[in-house]
Amino acid sequence: MSTSFNLRLTNQRINDHLQNATIYNANGDYVQAGEKVYGAIVGIINKRSNKEIKPTRIKKQKFINIIGELRNRDPTKIPFLTQHFQDPTELWSGIFALHEYFYGTALNYTDTHLEIIITYFIQLLQML
């Protein structure tokens, strides 16, 4: 198997993660939904980088850049982007917290909070 970056496979994974996040969220499985959101975001980061990005600090910076591009491309999205988080760094922290929640290393969140935040991130993914 080739170790080169596979754009077709990456696109499929992003779509699968987004679809599964939506299903898990609707069924109240916030642990799985949150991890699928994180997987889709990482897929978008990798796609835009045209390679797999492994270090979290680089993923974070690339995500911040992607959000900055969205803000510049469509300023009408800014109210949505700042609805729950003040800036792209906080957005990343929210997404990464879902990943940590999956592994049991994050704070305990209420189901209501998780449903709201995961729904928000699914909508964000659809914009990207």
Q: Closest Cα to residue 120, out of 92, 79, 84, 78?
A: 84
Structure token digits, residue 124? 């964000």
Residue 57 — very low, low, confident or very high, per pLDDT cuts 50/70/90? very high
pLDDT in tens, 37-47: 999 999 999 99
pLDDT in tens, 62-73: 999 999 999 999
Structure token digits, residue 15? 């779509």
The residue whose two tokens read 């080169």 is 4
Domains of the chain: 7-127 (1.20.120)
Cα 96 from chain centre: 8
**Is 88 within 8 Å of 64 (Cβ atoms)?**
yes
The DSSP element (H or E) to which 2 belongs, if any, is: none
pLDDT of res. 107: 72
Is the model's pLDDT at 4 over the cut of 70? no
pLDDT in tens, 111-120: 999 999 999 9
